[in-house]
Amino acid sequence: MDHSQDTELLTEFVAESLNGLESIEKDLLSLESEGGSDTALVNRIFRAVHSIKGTGSYMGLDPLVRLSHLAETLLDQVRSNEREATSDVTDAILAAVDGLTGMLQSADLGQSYDCGEAVGKLNQVLGLAKIAPAPPSVEEKPALPSKSPTKEKAQGPSEEDHDSGLVEEFVAESLQNLTDIELDLLSLESDGGTDKELVNRIFRAVHTIKGNGSYLKLENLVGVAHRAETLLDRVRSGTESASAVVTDAVLAAVDALVSMLRTPDLGATFECLVPLAKLDRALNGSPQHVSSATLSASDIAQIKQAETGKGTTFRIDLDLERIQQAVDIKEGVIVGLSSIGKILFTSIPKEQIDKTPKGTCIVFLETVLSTEMLCDHFNLKPETVTQIDTKGLSPGNGGSSNPLATSPESSAEKKPQPIDSPKTIPAELASIPSRPGTDKPNQDKALASKEAAKAAAEQSMRVPVHILHKLLEWTGTMVMARNQLMNEFDFRGSTAFRTLSQSITGVHETVIETRMQTTGSLFERYRRIVRDLSRQLNKEVALHIEGGELELDRTILESFADPLTHLIRNSLDHALETPAEREAAGKNRQGNIFLRSYIHSGEIILAVEDDGRGICAERVCSKAVSKGVITQAYANQLTDHQKVMLIFQAGFSTKDEATDVSGRGVGMDVVRNNIEAVGGSIDVVTKVGTGTTFSAILPLAKALVSSSLTKALVVDIQDERFAIPETAVSEIIRYDAKAMTNIVQVDGENVYQLRDQLVALVDLRQALGMEQQSNRKEHACLVILQYRKHQFGAIVDNVLGIQEIIVRGTPKLLQNCGIFSGHTVLGTGRVSLILDINGLVSKLSLRFLDQKHGNSKRAMAESPDGSQTKNRQKQKMVVFSFSNNEFFAIPLELVAIIERISLDSIRTVGTKEYCQIKNETISVMRLDTFLPISKFDVARKDCCLIRPAAVTFPLGILTGPDVTIIDVDDSFESRLDDQNGIVGTFMHNDRLVMLLDVFSVFEQHAPDKLKMQEVQTGLAKILVAEDSLFFRKLIKQYMQRDEWTIEIVNDGVEAWEKLQAEPKRYNLVISDINMPRLDGFQLASKIREDRRFDAIPLVALTTLSDDHFREKGLSLGFDRYVVKIDKNQVRATVAECLQIRRTPGKR
Amino acid sequence: MQISTFLIQNEAFAVPSLVVEEYFRPLPITKVPGSNRCLDGLVNIRGRTAVVINMRTCFEVPPRDPSDLGEMILLETSQGLVDEARELGLYAFDEPVVLSVDSVSQIFQLAADEIHPAPPHVNQPFVDGVIQLDEAYFTMVSIQKLIETILHGKTEELR
């Protein structure tokens, strides 16, 4: 074995052990959460620790072995039900896991690692606290191997005639075999010893070792192996069952053999009395009885109680067959024993002892006789008699003082000698007492989990990442070459090529699969952090994991590990309150943290949500100002969300005193930087008193590692091909570049009218700085791209279709371009760049026109202090001029389309004007007809036609050419009473803008079309929930009718409160859908759940005209779903609803 | 040490042969909008993508006639360097890079002491030294300086 192999082996060992430790941790946590009752889990943890110990001792890592040994001992006690899996135990084991992890991660693999804390904890739990914290015995023990296994093998027994190569081979093979045997034994034990094939395998492996060893004349080794073989042969042939004693003995033998193989003389001088004794005992004894008898706590209590203090207490392992033949006790064993002392305890009920012909019975006898006299008297073998100090006897006092599980030798030595005696450690190492199958119900479970573990072990192997990288790289190249071939030649007829092609695809997919990992695997790691921290901080916290099945490339997932840790620590420390505080705030004592992963509009989102105290925007802001992060003037301009986002600024920490957990100067800015480093971003949504959600956002395109396959839209810009990730493309529109159909100017920029929304336009030629060599073809294409919640249009020369491309990273030399996420090679063999949508947006500093009224409302609902922001609610207004100095506004949500027309296209028919747009005749409305305003400036030929949304007949308001969209506070001045047609006025850029009462204007424009036909309804009280001031006014106007009493409230919560206060008061409820606090959908479900309101009709009055909203509304209990604005329809619906009698219970 | 020479507007330049992977006839280049002006774009050489550095732009020489595509020199990557090159401490970038030159020229064998420091009047940022062979002079190009300058976007130094 040369040095490099050694390193490789070590690396392997470290990786495997770290994996193991990780799963131990996970298992421990689930063990704790279910109260420590799952035997299968305990067994699994035990096995994992044992295998770390085993491998570690093979590597000669003494400190690591010592620590894992202690942990193993403790676990064994849990496993054999001698100890409950209390949180102290879990703590100690977790400490050990941490210690081991620390060791494995240290440069010298823990040779100089200080694990005093973990050892202390373990010893404390084990009741060995008085003994030195780190038992130094292993180093002092002469028989144990020296540090490096490599050297020893080189020094192998060259005095023998065998060449050292052969010996090395033997050692390597045997060690491998022994590892397998150990694993098999543990599986055998956990499945209750029924698996014949396993027994056979173990037998064959031991036999091989014996055979080879005897060829090499390693007598000592052969001695051990032979006995183990004999024992196993009995098990194999069925004369012996695979009981705990048998497994125990064979495991002891395995440990001894491993130790021997690692000594320079291959065990020739190795002290192996303990395993031999164990094997002998197993061979001679009748294990059936033994396995059913164990000293429980009550047994020990019984012994202690019975003890008189006269004489010495002995433990006698009675061989019943032998003792019954002893001449002196013809009268019976018990009587015989009683004659010389007091029987304190028997493992088999006394009256049955004489009827049991064979087997071993453990007897505790208090007598004044010495060991020798006792042996002589009853013809006992000396090794079966042990002097016991009952004071040190407890069910949980280490494997060595469990009288059943250990050989007499070790017990005997245990007492007088401290743990650092040279012999005790091998005895302990060899003792893996166990009691399989004692718990019938758990057996199946254990079996199942064993099968699963076995399957998992067989299915996974560790491969260095760089090999996977290379493999993927080559596969990617293969796919690209294949695509090129398909482009160049016609292979349609060739089956061979098809097979080749499919294989290449298959290989590629498989390679990608090897790298994928679920987010759940990352999330599970945080259980431990949450558990430990919540205990440390005296908080009660539950961690919920959702969407853990999302798969990401491991390397990318890993880059989120640290930021998420930080966010979770932060939530625990700062956000979540103590149980007392929570109770005081009317919350559940237990705080919750949610870890979620999901894909939303082309982005992967990993969210950490808590239901803690939330972040107060004002506090953050004032803190930022006091820390000099921002100026007060700047702070005044910030929205609440922006204020909260200040926590991501460098040098920011809101908690005044830094705690142990977070706030050590490493702030949220590091989290942000880490996430941004992988091309992601971070966002936070919080509400004071309710909780906070941090979201790490990564565009799907960024989540692809080099050489993965993805779908992309290939476009042509100035004869260069570019790829746009398919995830970013929402639709493709062919449009006439010259006519500029559907393009309007907003704020001096081109904006495309896409159905009912306006999208910003980007000419990619200009954006990419490509010189205008050829004139744009008449029919260019518009690719509508999705960026977060926004859309924008990119003008390209042509679209070549969607292709599967291999993503390759951006060469380092090109990385500062910022608008490419990578490149690919197309079928033509040409390199093609992949556009990075996020990069493009930030490079061009694109602004989005937030079209949907819902957006601003949603933002408000999420803002920390609803009531405060209420007054400052923004509303989007379309502002236009009619004549030069008079400006009008219409709420954006009432606008369907803004058409650019020429005055020439307006035709006059009688007194009415019409305009033909796309085969539709639209009635043109001039505001000066109804309002006392200036005449339209006829000198201007270009103008716009604003078409209102949700009006049943074609109609357009003629406006000047400049139409802009602005944000307006809801606090406009009302002029409702003095002017018909104007709802109010507000100031914008020092200009007075008049807010049109659209409906009234329309009614005046076409009275015949919108004439009301009133239905008699009788007196009615109507409750209206509407948060927008504008609509409140509008609705009030709509509903003006003598017999109707209208009460308007601000949101769903207020409406619900009103209903609760006077359930019988209202005849009808009208509700908006988008509202803060409680939206219309929620309100409807609440009302419909309450039988008292069965008879009240519900009308949804909204601007959400999409069918699925309508369906949702109706399914939640709305009787009618009316889109705002059409006064006629609203009134008619209300009247109709007041007529009907609801069928109670109907939804 | 062996050097590979090439011409840029009739001036002779050289790089160590050990850092050259191969010469090849020009391949179609994909332009990269917004990249450093010394870069011509990307080429696909048998499945590997390489960045093309235009040596004329780097040395502030007017561009070639568009019909003259010149020749291309693919440099070794740092992983591909042979041990000898490593021992000599030769520089290589870790991604494939191509030098676009007018034409490749001869290969010479020379001793390390034949490379002299650049005379002070040579005011070019990417020069490691000069070589005199008989009557001919060659300018030793510093690939490291060239790449690092582009990498760090110090375009002002390119002027």
pLDDT of residue B16: 92
pLDDT of residue B6: 94
Do A682 and A540 share a structural domain?
yes
Asked, for residue A1146, whether it belongs to a domain, the answer is no
pLDDT of residue A747: 57
Q: Could you give the CA distance from residue A762 to residue B54 in angstroms, rounded to a whole number?
A: 30
Asked, for residue A1144, whether it belongs to a domain, the answer is no
**Nearest chain A Cα to B40, which residue?**
A814
**Nearest chain B Cα to A720, which residue?**
B30
Q: Which of B95, B82, B90, B101 is nearest to B40 (CA)?
A: B101
Q: Assign residue B155 a region (left: φ > 0; alpha: ψ between -120 and 50; beta: otherwise).
A: alpha
Asked, for residue A862, whether it belongs to a domain, the answer is no
Q: Work out how many domains chain A is built from and give that number.
A: 8
CATH for A22: 1.20.120.160
Q: Which residues of B are less than 8 Å from A840 in CB distance?
A: none
CB A1031 within 8 A of CB A1125: no
Asked, for residue A1052, whether it belongs to a domain, the answer is yes
Q: Could you give the CA distance from residue A194 to residue A595 in angstroms, rounded to a whole number?
A: 42
pLDDT of residue A151: 37
Of the candidate CATH numbers 3.40.50.150, 1.10.10.10, 2.40.50.180, 3.40.190.10, the domain formed by B2-158 belongs to 2.40.50.180
pLDDT of residue A831: 92
pLDDT of residue A869: 35
CATH for A377: 3.30.70
CATH for A606: 3.30.565.10
- Which tens digits make up the pLDDT trace of A545-591? 988 888 888 888 888 988 898 889 888 888 888 898 899 888 888 89
Do A974 and A1039 share a structural domain?
no
Is A720 in Cβ contact with B49 (below 8 Å)?
no
Which contiguous run of DSSP H or E holds residue A552?
strand A551-553
Q: Which residue has the higher pLDDT, A860 or A1100?
A: A1100
- Which tens digits make up the pLDDT trace of A951-962? 667 788 888 777
Q: Write out the residue range of the structural domain in which residue A322 sits.
A: 296-394
**Nearest chain B Cα to A824, which residue?**
B49
Asked, for residue A1015, whether it belongs to a domain, the answer is no
Is A808 in Cβ contact with B49 (below 8 Å)?
yes
CB A977 within 8 A of CB A1036: no
B31 vs A480, A720, A816: nearest CB: A720
Is A825 in Cβ contact with B51 (below 8 Å)?
no
A811 vs B34, B44, B51: nearest CB: B51
Do A99 and A48 share a structural domain?
yes
What's the gap in Å between the CA of B101 and the closest CA on chain A? 19
Domain's final residue, options A1005, A1030, A1059? A1005
- Which tens digits make up the pLDDT trace of A180-190? 787 787 777 77
Asked if residue A828 has pLDDT above 80, the reply is yes
Asked, for residue A562, whether it belongs to a domain, the answer is yes
Asked if residue A1012 has pLDDT above 60, the reply is no
A830 vs B28, B47, B147: nearest CB: B28
Q: How far is CA B153 from CA A641, B60, B62, B146, B147, in A?
A: 35, 17, 21, 11, 10
Mean local confidence (pLDDT), A63-77: 83
Do A250 and A163 share a structural domain?
yes
Band (pLDDT 50/70/90 cuts) for residue A704 is confident
Q: How far is CA A508 from CA A499, A723, A808, in A?
A: 14, 20, 14
Asked if residue A876 has pLDDT above 70, the reply is yes
pLDDT of residue A400: 37
Is A829 in Cβ contact with B30 (below 8 Å)?
no
Is A823 in Cβ contact with B95 (below 8 Å)?
no
- Whether B147 and chain A come into contact, CB under 8 Å, resolves to yes
- Which tens digits make up the pLDDT trace of B90-122? 899 999 999 999 999 889 888 877 888 877 776
Domains of chain B, residue spans = 2-158
pLDDT of residue A216: 77
Band (pLDDT 50/70/90 cuts) for residue A322 is low
Q: Which residue has the higher pLDDT, A423 or A36?
A: A36
Q: Which residues of A are less than 8 Å from B50 in CB distance?
A: 811
Do A557 and A677 share a structural domain?
yes
Q: Which residues of A are less than 8 Å from B49 in CB distance?
A: 808, 811, 823, 825, 831
Do A109 and A54 share a structural domain?
yes
What number is the ipTM of this complex?
0.90
pLDDT of residue A304: 61
Phi and psi at residue A518, to the nearest 5°: -80, 150
Is B30 in Cβ contact with A813 (below 8 Å)?
no
Q: Which of A691-695, A802-806, B132-136 has the lowest mean pLDDT?
A: B132-136
**Nearest chain A Cα to B27, which residue?**
A830
Q: Which of A19-28, A248-257, A261-270 has the lowest mean pLDDT?
A: A261-270
Band (pLDDT 50/70/90 cuts) for residue A774 is low
If you ran DSSP here, which 8-state letter would residue B112 be given?
G
Chain A residues contacting B via beta carbons under 8 Å: 477, 480-481, 720-721, 768-770, 808, 811-814, 816-820, 823, 825, 829-833
Mean local confidence (pLDDT), A582-603: 87
Asked, for residue A731, whether it belongs to a domain, the answer is yes
Average pLDDT, chain A: 73
Average pLDDT, chain B: 86
Is B43 in Cβ contact with A811 (below 8 Å)?
no
- Which tens digits make up the pLDDT trace of A865-874? 333 333 345 6
Q: Which of A374, A371, A352, A372 is nearest to A361 (CA)?
A: A352
pLDDT of residue A458: 54
Do A511 and A522 share a structural domain?
no
CATH for A770: 2.30.30.40
Alpha helices in A979-1079 (DSSP H): 998-1005, 1029-1038, 1052-1061
Is A817 in Cβ contact with B34 (below 8 Å)?
yes
* Portion 30-69 of B in contact with A at CB < 8 A: 30-36, 39, 41-44, 47-51
Asked, for residue A853, whether it belongs to a domain, the answer is no
Band (pLDDT 50/70/90 cuts) for residue A663 is very low
Domain's final residue, options A681, A700, A719? A700
What's the gap in Å between the CA of B138 and the closest CA on chain A? 27
Do A277 and A155 share a structural domain?
yes
pLDDT of residue A459: 61
Band (pLDDT 50/70/90 cuts) for residue A165 is low
Do A522 and A509 share a structural domain?
no
Q: Which of A888, A953, A909 is nearest to A1125 (CA)?
A: A953
- Burial of residue A310 (CB within 10 Å: 0-12, 13-18, 19+) is exposed
Do A284 and A149 share a structural domain?
yes
Mean local confidence (pLDDT), A694-704: 85
Tell me the percentage of chain A whose pLDDT exceeds 70: 71
Do A646 and A565 share a structural domain?
yes
Band (pLDDT 50/70/90 cuts) for residue B49 is very high
Domain's final residue, options A135, A156, A185? A135
pLDDT of residue A439: 42
